[in-house]
Amino acid sequence: MKPLFKSALLTFAATICLASPLLAQQQRPAQRPDPAAQVQEVIDRIFNYIDGCTPVAVVDGDGKVLRDYKKIDERSSLQRGDFGINTYEWGVTYSGLLLASEVTGDAKYKKYVYDRLKLLGEIYPYVKEYYDATGYQMRLGPLEKPKWLDDCGSMTAAMIKATLADPAQSRAFRALLDNWFEFVMYEEYRLGDGILARNRPTTNSVWLDDMYMGITPIAYRGRLSQAERGDLTQKYYNEAINQVLLFKKYLWVPEKNLYRHGWIEGMAEHPDYHWARCNGWAVLTMCDVLDVVPESTQGWTEVRDLLVSLLRGIAQYQSPEGTWHQLINNTESYLETSASAMFVYGYAHAINKGWLDRTAYQDIARSGWAGVAKQVNEKGQVENTCTGTGLGWTNTFYMSRPVSVFAAHGYGPVLLAACELLKMYKTPAAPAAPGAQGAFPGMGRRRDESKPMVFLAGDSTCKNGQGTGTLGQWGWGSFFAEYLTDAVSVENDAVGGLSSRTFYEGTQWPLIRDNVRKGDIVIIQFGHNDMAPLGTGRARGTLEGTGDKPQNVVMERNGAHQDVYSYGHYVRMMVRQAKMRGAIPIVVSPTPQNNWTGEKKIRRFTDTFNAWCRQVAQEEGVTFIDFNDICAAEYENMGRTKAQRDYFADSVHTREAGARLYCEVLAKALKDQNTALAKYVK
């Protein structure tokens, strides 16, 4: 070998050897970011910001730091920062930081809390002494004489939580804690039945905000009494449960599974606005009450069921961004951060406690957190948080409320949501079936990330039994994938025996709703079981038509009351929720029944399900396919004898030939109508 050639060859080989590790590294798939680490980073970003902008000092009337607290007078105040350290908003922030220390084990978060609570406790005796001696209106006056729950309720709850976490640390602020709790429990204004109330904006007003400001400290006082003396507990526990149920009486709107913001005595029609943050206060309150009040307490289960109903009601309004609107059910209002964070906390907390099904709701919590986390800017400020808000009389009032990074309401809820997400990530999910890694929770197919999914939502005419042809009966969904190209995947999530109502209200629709992504297609087909009784037997029937007004029905199986809506309402809700997540719904009328008049005429649902499906689809701007009419025409062309012999298995279900006929008909209709699936039809 010539020396020059040999040298070149050795150089080339060395280059390849040096490059190989780098090439291999470049070819390795990128590691997925650790979601827990991402959440932790948001917590620290917020903490670093608020730690630097909330000083721990008292100043005199000229703004000079006051170290001799004996000199406190009417002009003295807490040193000004970006946020006040004794406000109701900061009470929530303290609760969030205490939880952060508990979840992460990092003491810096609770040190922040104790440093500020100790300052308030240390100055309290001097404020009280000066106030009692002079009667002057002091800037620090609310420490001694709060005027309403906003002055002390949330802060009292935080101080009790801080005391339970470390009793020794609380000695400095215990007198202030007791003074403020006395106001919450015995001095706050109430109506005749005992509900916490206000005399603003008018006499005898009930605000949903006061659930958190009043009920949470009462519930936690029960836990504190139990820890310290082992007595005086049930009194507080009973009062907390009673208050929750009173607020339900005044402000709960069962047909929407949401709260209205306020109630005004003497009004025939109360302000019926579903402000997001007030519903968030209710979520936080019920989580706190359920945490500390023993399950054996009368009314505990009712509170838990109320929380679950509220979370179910809120879920249907989640935006594609993961967050919720200022007015929950008004998509023209802006997306608001503080309430969204409260909801995320509620879902994650209820999942961690076992009050909500993890499979059905964990993605709501995760996508909600993703939307909330985007609102925390590089400085650690929480953006798009609504400022303080009173009761309003119009949509415009709520929709025009300003947002600000200095609206303190956002910081505590985001911290709470982050901490509860960390707990959820640390709690392992139930083990998946062998070979099912990467599959949808509760569903049967792995997701191919390169393809859109087609989700089938229906009854036994779409999936009979397990979809394996038991007793010779097949649903069309078992074969539908064969009529589409490999560029899409099909997930048949139909369930035999379910109506639009029981599919929507059960676990199956949430599984679809929470797994669809932008560009997926959802085919919705129900009807056969919607004709069943409303409250007896399997209680799966729906009201006729498309209206949104429910009928309250007593369930035969347990005597419970349940609001039942129209067939069109349930279909409409599925359509809207799919659209909100970027999916493309297609409404399909039910398959024909084996119900003939003569040899050549099969009965249709022309004036019922077909018409209702068409109306909903038109109103929601989505595709409608009159499957019932088209398939009935196919049967009529072949005649009754052949149809019953070769295609129908009974009065409703089909043999394989019938199921495949439906697939052919549907595929052709999807293509003829130039639907989103047209390009995937073979």
pLDDT digits (tens, 9 = 90+) for 325-378: 999 999 899 999 999 999 999 999 999 999 998 888 888 999 999 999 999 999
Residue 3, pLDDT > 70, answer no
For 89-99, what is each residue's pLDDT tens digit?
Answer: 999 999 999 99
Question: Average pLDDT for residues 535-553, to the nearest whole number?
Answer: 91
Confidence of residue 126 (pLDDT cuts 50, 70, 90): very high
CA distance 631 to 636: 9
Q: What is the mean pLDDT of residues 134-139?
A: 90
Q: Give the pLDDT band (50/70/90) at residue 214.
A: very high
What's the pLDDT at 13? 42
Query: For 159-167, what is the mean pLDDT?
Result: 96
pLDDT digits (tens, 9 = 90+) for 178-190: 999 999 999 999 9
Q: List alpha helices for 135-231, DSSP H.
A: 153-165, 174-182, 210, 216-228
Helices (H), strands (E): how many in the chain? 22, 15
**Which residue type does 173 have?**
F
22: confidence class by pLDDT, cuts 50, 70, 90: very low
| CA dist., res. 641 & res. 643, Å (int) | 6
- pLDDT tens-digit profile of 399-441? 999 999 999 999 999 999 999 999 998 865 433 333 222 334 3
Q: How many CB atoms lie within 10 A of CB 482?
A: 11
What was the pLDDT predicted at 444?
42
Query: Range with the lowest mean pLDDT among 281-290, 556-565, 569-578?
Result: 556-565
* Banded pLDDT at 259 (limits 50, 70, 90): very high
pLDDT band at 4 (very low <50, low <70, confident <90, very high): very low
Q: What pLDDT shows up at residue 24?
A: 41
Position 57 pLDDT exceeds 60: yes
Strands (E) in 176-218, as ranges, are: 205-207
User: What does the pLDDT look like over 592-633, one tens digit per residue?
Assistant: 999 999 888 999 999 999 999 999 999 999 999 999 999 999
C-alpha dist (Å) from residue 174 to 76, 82, 110, 230: 22, 26, 17, 18
Contact 163, 146 (CB under 8 A): no
| The pLDDT of residue 130 is above 80 | yes
> Which pLDDT band holds residue 40 (cuts at 50, 70, 90)?
very high
pLDDT at position 446 is 52
In whole angstroms, give the CA distance from residue 251 to residue 207. 8
Long-range CB contacts (< 8 A, 24+ apart) of 109-115?
Answer: 109/47, 110/162, 110/165, 110/166, 112/47, 112/50, 112/51, 113/158, 113/162, 114/162, 114/166, 114/169, 115/56
Asked if the model's pLDDT at residue 29 lies above 50, the reply is: no
pLDDT at 16: 39
The answer, yes or no, to whether residue 231 has pLDDT greater than 70, is no
Q: Which of 79-83, 254-258, 283-287 has the lowest mean pLDDT?
A: 254-258
Helix (H/G/I), strand (E/B), else coil: 490: strand
- Encode pLDDT of 444-488 as tens digits: 445 677 899 999 999 999 999 878 887 789 999 999 999 999 999
Q: What is the pLDDT of residue 18?
A: 39
CB 334 within 8 A of CB 326: yes
60 burial via Cβ count (<10 Å: 0-12, 13-18, 19+)? middle
Q: Judge contact between 347 and 368, C-beta under 8 A.
A: yes
pLDDT value of position 599: 85
How many of the other CB atoms lie within 10 Å of CB of 468? 10
pTM: 0.64
How large a percentage of the chain has pLDDT more than 70? Answer: 92
DSSP annotation of 507 reads S
Mean pLDDT, all residues of the chain? 89
Cα–chain center distance at 596: 47
Mean local confidence (pLDDT), 32-51: 91
Sorted by where each starts, the structural domains of the chain and their CATH numbers stand as 86-109+157-171+184-391+398-426 (1.50.10.10), 453-680 (3.40.50.1110)
Mean pLDDT in residue range 572-578: 93
The neighbour count for residue 7, using CB atoms within 10 Å, is 11
